């Protein structure tokens, strides 16, 4: 990891609000199909600064989820470059990208993606455990208390409601104290009221942990809470 | 390491690992239990079989065994004892005489087994550890009436006069050969010089009996170079008693086959549960990767997990296997009269290594694949995992199976045939399953809603269902193969000595006594083998070519087959003996006076003889030319008089003959022998009931072992079914939850599941029957050397059993599916 010029986090984090944490240059994603090549993304150039909250919006199939995956280092573009917190993702292999993910980002998913065989507490402890940190439990308990689930520590995901599951997912996302939090339709599976609560919680924690937030959503209320909205259509940024 | 243990513990707690652990445990447990039991039973059987030799091995010769042999044996820590057998006349004080088969034995005899003696002929014997003292003899019971002697009388053997001190009922190595016919006289080898019967040209059979460690015996055999020396022969149970030897060999082959099929089935169960576990962890891994887990971390975690799971499963498997084997031993204690020796380390090693190989070959490939799961999967479900490398998956499984099979059976031939059968069946199954599924769909169009749903489901998941039919079919096929082979083998063994088979032979009956003895036997015994004249003669020429010359060019490679020119017992008969079967030519017409001869099929084949050949016989110095007119097959185990060569009635009638027969006598009717031998002192009676009893007791034990293995394999088979149904459970869960939410009733789901499992089972059953018939045909004819047979009943019962078995296991495995409210099912899937 020493070769990676990543922004250190925690107390030494620079306070400059306009430091660029995500930068893409001419990113394209082209996949082969039976009918020939299909461009899912084309010519994506964007910069996201530290502390910003950005909503990526667009119709179904516009390419926004693919873009999110590429920005988070879950996927690689077929052309162009992506850097995340100073790390050139497109120059790294999967092993190194995983390390960047583990250290720099948090993720909240539409389908919550909690591990069914783990309790709420264990799900939140997971990122720290993956980094080999022993003292993960107290932090996880505190985070679950913050999201209002102090009484549900030993419940399994199947014993929790959708809203509760998403709170666990949010607690887990912040457990690694990420520089950037990616969220994919975080309210997509929730009713309006629960969705609103989750949005509040997300922004509350985002402010508290001073995280950059990048989310994909169809939810106008959610998009409206973000500082910037990027609209995608046909694989291109249109606004 | 901590993370791996936590991962393992959490997965176990969540029920994700249960089936994998159980499948591995069953693999290890089955192998351990089977091999522990087989190992101990095998050792016990070998030990008990050794009593047929009165030793573990012996060195035989017609000349005296050199002292150097004895010394070499003793140097290796082996126990030795000498015996010398020869035919001789004995005379009584009042000049009555009889031809006896003398066995002179030295101290230590018998090294294995026991002598049974009594004080009154034909009364129940007692076991003794003593031997006749020098100067004493023990006589066979039948000699007492024929010689008119009692205990304390003296008999002359050659120049020696010896005192009769016991009635000898049996000695362990009596049933060696049918040509060792005379009644037994047991004496001390130290008395032999005094008899002066050992002369050049005497028919002597020296044996040096040996007992001790297997390794030492083998070393001695090699050190003495016996195999290269034509003057000595080395014998174990397999060489000296082919019936028991072949029963043992087949039993071992069968047990091993059963054991390895059990392992294969358990391996399939391991593979299925590992694949399901891996599939259920695709999302899991996706999430871990977004949380920063690197591919190498994932790899290390899951390999570590498998090591932990494997270690636990192997440990428990060994425990379970040992416990199971103890339970089996306890259960069979009353019917296994032999004391089982302590087990060797091999079964435990076998169990542990099997577990390891199963884990590596069957469970590891799908887990290895987990590291390749894309993290994109967490936001894009359609980003499926690249399918695991088929070559790696199947290659590892096939290599693992092969390794296990060869190591476990120690027989490449058996392995090759089993594997060939399995692969052939798989190819056939695939084609057949596709046809059946298509056919099912067509039928389903006309069916009620439950059935239509089921058959549509079958057709829709065609790929998965074809695979499932293959797996079910394979499991059922393996069970059927085992069942068929077991039936075939047991029947074969049982038939070797039919119940009420004649247990006595009477020989040396003079022609004038034939009618009277026939009447007497009719009145006193239940089953007679018919009376046959017996004339000694030998073939001197075939089609005018001298016998030795003919033999040099026509005799088959088989070294130990009968020789053409050696003396043979000939007989003649008007009708073909009851249990003979004609394989070529026609039986003669009684009115036909030509000199004709009927040959035993194998005998003719070995010597290159066929119908139409002219044989020249030398009978008592006279020459007789006859034509071969037919070939017969014999049942050697029928315990009836059997002849290689039978003449037509006219041809031999003018030659002097003695007659022989066989008959069945109840144990409590043995006194009849006294009456028979008193009235006809010249006839020779041979009691074979002791040999039959020994053979039957071994067969009974082997049968139990075989049935036990069948039970264990059955358990593995059911496990595969459970694993297979579990593997498809997730797909079914979501489908049925969806149907329920769309208004499908529980009854509809239950009906559809019933129809689906029954159809799957039926198809698998059909496929299994086809595979089993083919494999069994090949195994029976190529490996076990049994006759080929088709099993019409199987074609009905196979599919029915398949349908029923899969229906029961399937419904039990999915009952939660039917009972659970759809919302909980849908949530559980999330």
**B240 domain residue, yes or no:** no
The closest CB to that of B292, out of A65, A68, A99, belongs to: A99
Q: What is the model's pLDDT at position A13?
A: 44
Taking each helix axis from N to C end, the angle separating B295-332 and B282-290, rounded to the nearest 10 degrees, works out to 140
Query: Which of the two residues, B637 and A168, has the higher pLDDT score?
Result: A168
Looking at residues B541-570, what average pLDDT do you find?
A: 73
Measured CA to CA, the distance from residue A222 to residue A238 in angstroms comes to 19
Measured CA to CA, the distance from residue A178 to residue A180 in angstroms comes to 5
Q: What percent of chain B has a predicted confidence (pLDDT) above 70? A: 76
- State whether B662 and B715 are in the same domain: no
Q: What is the model's pLDDT at position B238?
A: 60
Tell me if A69 and B380 make a contact (CB, 8 A cut-off): yes
User: CB-based contact (8 Å) between A176 and chain B?
Assistant: yes
Q: Edge-to-edge, what's the strand order for the sheet holding A105-108?
A: A105-108, A180-184, A212-216, A53-57, A228-233, A236-237
* Residue range B492-518, pLDDT digits in tens: 655 555 666 777 888 778 888 888 888
**Taking all residues of chain B, what is their mean pLDDT, rounded to a whole number?**
78
- State whether B102 and B215 are in the same domain: yes
Torsion over CA of B705, B711, B715 and B717, rounded to 10 degrees?
100
**B448 domain residue, yes or no:** yes
Judged by phi (left if over 0) then psi (alpha if -120 to 50, else beta), residue B791 lies in beta
Which residues does B513 contact at the CB level (< 8 Å), separation at least 6?
A: B659, B680, B683
- State whether B228 and B250 are in the same domain: no
- Assess contact for B658 and B534: CB atoms under 8 A: yes
User: CB-based contact (8 Å) between B711 and chain A?
Assistant: no
Q: With cut-offs at 50, 70 and 90, classify the pLDDT of residue B473.
A: confident
Write down which residue in B626, B654, B687 finishes a domain.
Answer: B687
* Residue range B558-577, pLDDT digits in tens: 445 556 776 778 888 888 88
The closest CB to that of A103, out of B289, B292, B824, belongs to: B292
Torsion over CA of A96, A97, A101 and A107, rounded to 10 degrees?
-150
* Residue range B181-240, pLDDT digits in tens: 567 899 999 999 998 877 765 667 899 999 988 888 889 988 888 777 777 888 876 665
The closest CB to that of B379, out of A65, A103, A176, belongs to: A65
Looking at residues B248-274, what average pLDDT do you find?
A: 72
- Cis ω before B300 (30° cut-off from 0): no
Q: With cut-offs at 50, 70 and 90, classify the pLDDT of residue A29.
A: very high
Judged by phi (left if over 0) then psi (alpha if -120 to 50, else beta), residue B802 lies in alpha
Looking at residues A70-99, what average pLDDT do you find?
A: 90
- State whether B309 and B333 are in the same domain: yes
Mutate to test the interface with A, among B279, B292, B293, B820 (most CBs of A within 10 A): B292
* Residue range B162-182, pLDDT digits in tens: 999 999 988 887 654 444 556
User: CB-based contact (8 Å) between B294 and chain A?
Assistant: yes
Q: Per the structure, how many domains does chain B have? A: 4
What pTM value is reported for the model? 0.64
* Residue range B740-791, pLDDT digits in tens: 766 667 777 788 788 888 888 888 888 888 888 887 787 777 666 666 777 8
Measured CA to CA, the distance from residue A167 to residue A165 in angstroms comes to 5
Measured CA to CA, the distance from residue B803 to residue B678 in angstroms comes to 67
- How many Cβ pairs closer than 8 A exist between chain A and B? 98
CATH superfamily of A18-237: P-loop containing nucleotide triphosphate hydrolases (3.40.50.300)
3-state secondary structure of B698: helix
* Residue range B612-624, pLDDT digits in tens: 989 998 887 788 8
**Taking all residues of chain A, what is their mean pLDDT, rounded to a whole number?**
86
- Assess contact for B56 and B217: CB atoms under 8 A: yes
For the record, the structure tokens of A133 come out as: 């940190």
Looking at residues B62-72, what average pLDDT do you find?
A: 89
User: CB-based contact (8 Å) between A52 and chain B?
Assistant: no
Domain carrying residue B114: 58-235
Measured CA to CA, the distance from residue A200 to residue A198 in angstroms comes to 5
- Assess contact for B444 and B752: CB atoms under 8 A: no
- State whether B700 and B763 are in the same domain: yes
What secondary structure letter does DSSP report for B417?
H
Q: What is the model's pLDDT at position B178?
A: 41
For the record, the structure tokens of B37 come out as: 């039991």
User: CB-based contact (8 Å) between B279 and chain A?
Assistant: no
- State whether B769 and B664 are in the same domain: no
- State whether B355 and B426 are in the same domain: no
Write down which residue in B663, B687, B711 finishes a domain.
Answer: B687
- State whether B159 and B178 are in the same domain: yes
The closest CB to that of A130, out of B284, B291, B830, belongs to: B291
Would you say residue B463 has pLDDT above 90? no
User: CB-based contact (8 Å) between A1 and chain B?
Assistant: no
The whole-angstrom distance between B346's CA and the closest CA on chain A is 39
Q: What is the model's pLDDT at position B710?
A: 67
- State whether B296 and B377 are in the same domain: yes
- State whether B128 and B177 are in the same domain: yes
- State whether B186 and B102 are in the same domain: yes
* Token pair 């409590």 in the structure block, residue: B668
User: CB-based contact (8 Å) between A123 and chain B?
Assistant: no
The closest CB to that of A101, out of B14, B290, B374, belongs to: B290
The whole-angstrom distance between A227's CA and the closest CA on chain B is 23
**B415 domain residue, yes or no:** no
Tell me if A176 and B295 make a contact (CB, 8 A cut-off): no
- State whether B669 and B706 are in the same domain: no
**B416 domain residue, yes or no:** no
Within 8 A of B297 by CB-CB distance, chain A residues are 98, 130
Write down which residue in B643, B662, B687 finishes a domain.
Answer: B687
Q: What is the model's pLDDT at position B477?
A: 78
Residue ranges of domains in chain A: 18-237
Looking at residues B341-365, what average pLDDT do you find?
A: 85
User: CB-based contact (8 Å) between B380 and chain A?
Assistant: yes
Strands B614-619 and B532-542: antiparallel
3-state secondary structure of A32: strand
């Amino acid at each position: 990891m020493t070769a990676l010029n990543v922004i250190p986090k925690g107390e030494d984090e620079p306070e400059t609000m306009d430091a660029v944490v995500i930068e893409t240059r001419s990113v394209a994603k082209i996949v082969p199909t039976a009918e020939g090549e299909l461009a899912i993304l084309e010519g994506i150039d964007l910069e996201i600064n530290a502390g910003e909250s950005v909503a990526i919006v667009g119709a179904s199939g516009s390419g926004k989820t693919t873009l999110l995956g590429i920005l988070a280092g879950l996927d690689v573009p077929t052309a162009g470059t992506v850097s995340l917190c100073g790390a050139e993702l497109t120059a790294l292999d999967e092993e190194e990208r995983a390390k960047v993910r583990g250290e720099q980002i948090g993720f909240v998913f539409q389908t919550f993606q909690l591990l069914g065989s783990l309790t709420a507490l264990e799900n939140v402890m997971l990122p720290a455990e993956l980094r080999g940190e022993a003292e993960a439990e107290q932090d996880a308990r505190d985070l679950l208390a913050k999201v209002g689930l102090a009484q549900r520590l030993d419940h399994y995901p199947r014993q929790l409601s959708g809203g509760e599951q998403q709170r666990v997912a949010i607690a887990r996302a912040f457990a690694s104290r990420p520089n950037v939090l990616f969220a994919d339709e975080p309210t997509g599976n929730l009713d309006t009221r629960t969705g609103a609560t989750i949005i509040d919680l997300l922004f509350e924690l985002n402010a508290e942990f001073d995280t950059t937030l990048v989310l994909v959503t169809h939810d106008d209320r959610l998009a409206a809470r973000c500082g910037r909205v990027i609209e995608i259509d046909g694989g291109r940024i249109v606004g | 390491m901590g993370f791996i243990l936590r991962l393992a513990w959490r997965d176990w707690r969540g029920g994700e690992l249960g089936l994998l652990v159980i499948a591995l445990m069953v693999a290890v447990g089955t192998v351990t239990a089977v091999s522990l039991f087989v190992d101990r039973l095998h050792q016990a059987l070998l030990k008990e079989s050794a009593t047929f030799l009165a030793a573990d091995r012996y060195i035989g010769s017609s000349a005296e065994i050199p002292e150097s042999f004895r010394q070499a044996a003793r140097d290796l820590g082996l126990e030795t004892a000498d015996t010398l057998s020869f035919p001789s006349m004995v005379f009584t004080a009042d000049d009555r005489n009889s031809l006896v088969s003398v066995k002179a034995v030295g101290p230590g005899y018998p090294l294995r087994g026991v002598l049974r003696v009594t004080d009154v002929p034909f009364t129940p014997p007692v076991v003794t550890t003593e031997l006749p003292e020098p100067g004493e003899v023990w006589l066979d019971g039948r000699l007492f009436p024929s010689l008119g002697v009692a205990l304390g009388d003296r008999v002359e053997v050659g120049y020696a006069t010896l005192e009769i001190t016991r009635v000898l009922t049996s000695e362990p190595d009596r049933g060696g050969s049918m040509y060792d016919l005379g009644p037994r006289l047991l004496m001390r080898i130290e008395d032999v010089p005094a008899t002066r019967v050992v002369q050049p040209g005497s028919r002597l059979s020296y044996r040096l009996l040996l007992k001790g460690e297997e390794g030492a015996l083998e070393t001695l055999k090699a050190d003495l170079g016996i195999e290269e020396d034509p003057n000595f022969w080395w014998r174990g149970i397999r060489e000296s008693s082919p019936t028991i030897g072949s029963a043992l060999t087949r039993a071992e082959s069968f047990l091993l086959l059963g054991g390895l099929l059990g392992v294969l089935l358990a391996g399939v169960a391991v593979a299925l549960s590992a694949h399901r576990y891996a599939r259920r962890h695709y999302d899991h891994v996706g999430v871990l990767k977004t949380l920063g887990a690197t591919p190498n971390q994932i790899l290390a975690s899951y390999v570590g997990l498998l090591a932990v799971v494997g270690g636990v499963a192997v440990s428990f498997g060994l425990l379970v296997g040992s416990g199971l084997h103890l339970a089996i031993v306890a259960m069979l204690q009353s019917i296994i009269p032999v004391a089982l020796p302590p087990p060797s380390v091999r079964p435990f090693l076998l169990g542990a290594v099997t577990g390891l190989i199963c884990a590596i070959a069957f469970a590891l490939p799908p887990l290895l694949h987990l590291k390749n799961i894309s993290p994109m999967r967490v936001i894009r479900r359609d980003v499926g995992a690249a399918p695991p490398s088929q070559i790696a998956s199947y290659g590892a499984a096939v290599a693992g199976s092969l390794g296990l099979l060869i190591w476990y059976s120690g027989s490449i031939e058996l392995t090759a045939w089993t594997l060939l059968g399995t692969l052939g069946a798989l190819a056939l199954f695939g084609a057949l399953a596709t046809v059946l599924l298509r056919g099912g769909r067509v039928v389903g169009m006309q069916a009620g809603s439950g059935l239509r749903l089921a058959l549509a489901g079958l057709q829709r998941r065609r790929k998965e269902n074809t695979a499932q039919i293959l797996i079910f079919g394979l499991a059922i096929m393996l069970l059927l193969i085992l069942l068929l082979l077991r039936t075939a083998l047991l029947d074969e063994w049982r038939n070797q000595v039919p119940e009420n088979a004649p247990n006595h032979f009477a020989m040396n009956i003079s022609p004038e006594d034939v009618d009277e003895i026939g009447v007497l036997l009719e009145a006193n015994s239940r089953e007679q083998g018919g009376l046959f004249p017996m004339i000694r003669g030998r073939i001197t020429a075939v089609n005018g070519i001298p016998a030795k010359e003919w033999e040099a060019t026509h005799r088959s490679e088989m070294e130990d087959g009968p020789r053409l020119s050696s003396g043979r017992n000939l007989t003649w008969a008007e009708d073909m003996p009851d249990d003979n079967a004609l394989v070529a030519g026609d039986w003669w017409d009684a009115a036909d006076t030509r000199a004709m001869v009927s040959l035993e099929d194998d005998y003719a084949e070995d010597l290159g003889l066929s119908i139409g050949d002219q044989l020249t016989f030398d009978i008592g110095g006279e020459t007789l030319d006859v034509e071969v007119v037919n070939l017969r097959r014999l049942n050697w185990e029928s315990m009836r008089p059997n002849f290689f060569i039978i003449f037509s009635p006219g041809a031999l009638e003018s030659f002097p003959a003695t007659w022989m027969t066989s008959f069945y006598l109840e144990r409590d009717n043995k006194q009849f022998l006294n009456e028979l031998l008193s009235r006809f002192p010249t006839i020779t009676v041979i009691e074979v009931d002791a040999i039959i009893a020994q053979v039957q007791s071994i067969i009974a034990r082997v049968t139990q072992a075989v049935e036990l293995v069948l039970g264990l394999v059955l358990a593995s088979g059911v496990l595969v079914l459970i694993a297979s149904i579990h593997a498809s459970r997730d797909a079914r869960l979501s489908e049925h939850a969806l149907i329920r939410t769309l208004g499908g009733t529980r009854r509809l789901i239950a009906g559809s599941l019933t129809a689906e499992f029954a159809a799957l089972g039926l198809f698998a059953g059909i496929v299994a029957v086809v595979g089993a018939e083919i494999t069994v045909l090949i195994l029976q004819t190529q490996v076990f050397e049994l006759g080929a047979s088709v099993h019409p009943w199987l074609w009905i019962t196979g599919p029915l059993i398949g349908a029923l078995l899969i229906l029961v296991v399937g419904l039990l495995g999915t009952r939660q599916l039917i009972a659970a409210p759809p919302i909980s099912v849908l949530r559980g899937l999330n």
